[in-house]
Structure 1
Amino acid sequence: MCELCLEQGRYTKATEVHHKVPLSWGGSHDEANHQALCHECHSRITAQVGDRRHNKKPPVSE
């Protein structure tokens, strides 16, 4: 199940594995760094943070 949808009380099949901390930012393949997401939630996160493969630094929090 999609972990973000479950937080909202929705039951959506997870279809993608998301790295919470991207590998390019020093994240790992450890299970603790993975998050099961549906395509919609994964796309939303990707749009919010941009293409993390080419952005070597985390976004600056304001």
Structure 2
Amino acid sequence: MSTPLLALAGVTNSPLGTALLALGAMAALVFIGRLLLSIAWKLVAAATVVVAGLWVVSVLL
């Protein structure tokens, strides 16, 4: 095993170390999810504007 993995194995020997590792993983997932949702909201807003514009054009023409 490499040195970082050996250090990580020491953390997971105790229940608190395991909980700390789990909370760190959850925090990373939440952070990544927030970034992805930020991008998704921008895409949804842009798509709404485009579809509304196409709808207005189709109604008027």
User: By the TM > 0.5 criterion, same fold?
Assistant: no
Higher relative contact order (CA 8 A, sep 6+): 1
Higher strand share: 1
With the length of structure 2 as denominator, give the TM-score of the two structures. 0.24
